[in-house]
Amino acid sequence: MNPTTRATITAVAASVIAGTGIFGTRYLALGVFVVMAGFAVGWPVLTRVSRRWISTGIIGVGSIVGLGAVVLGRDEPYLRYMAVAIAGIVVVALVSEVFFPSAPGRAVTSVAATASGGAIAASGAAWVASNRTVGAEDLVVAGAAALAIAAVASVLTHHATVNTVLALVLGAGSGALTGWLFDSITWYGGILVGLAAGISVVLLAEMYRREPRPHSVWAGIASGVTPVLVAGVLVYLGGRLLIG
């Protein structure tokens, strides 16, 4: 899968988050769930885990538990429920290796891939945590919109350095614009969220640039939605810093 297709997947996933975020927590949770599901199926393929479907099950179930806990949690900070889910994913990843051993020489890699994949997938619940934080609801739309724009900007030219600058500048510009549009966000707060979104796109794009291009569609989907899931935590932290 080429970088343009991967950037398109990132932009589409971010647009799903932004669009569902407008309609409230339930719809946002549904949008996050769809992104998580695509990631859970593709991540074991991308990381070449020996027992693909076992890893997919652990990542999928663990991330759904984390998402459900954040949605149903009664008290702030809601993200603490996600941390418990991540811990459970790591433990289950270790235990599963005992009952479903990987190919010789692949045990450590499989456990690490499953645990890290579970942490990435579960971090998507941070979008919902941000949405449920009083005063930070608009940050979800601002962050996701900046993420979509930064993803497109990251493949506009054939020069990696130029693309990096464009992604950061346009991401920050998008954040500033939404900060101006939404009364609950300051312009500098919007810039901070936009930069965070741009950085997540740029860093992961650079990592994938150094790896062989995935031939599997699902692996490409996982690589494309990873920045969207990771950015959820950055947006949540931005909300806690700016709003409290």
Task: For the beta carbon of residue 182, count every other beta carbon within 10 angstroms.
Answer: 16
Enclosing domain of residue 14: 3-242
Structure tokens at 200: 């997540």
* pLDDT, position 59: 95
State the DSSP string of 25-83.
Answer: HHHHHHHHHHHHHHHHHHHHHHTT-SSHHHHHHHHHHHHHHHHHHHHH--SS-THHHHH
d(CA 61, CA 105): 26
Backbone Cα Rg of the chain = 17
pLDDT band at 243 (very low <50, low <70, confident <90, very high): low
Alpha helices in 154-213 (DSSP H): 160-181, 187-209
The answer on pLDDT for 216 being more than 80 is yes
pTM: 0.89
Average pLDDT of the segment spanning 150-174: 90
Tally the domains of the chain. Answer: 1
d(CA 54, CA 58): 6
Q: Is the dihedral of CA 6, 82, 239, 136 positive or negative?
A: positive
pLDDT band at 9 (very low <50, low <70, confident <90, very high): very high
| Tens digits of residue pLDDT in 117-153 | 999 999 999 999 888 877 667 888 998 999 999 999 9
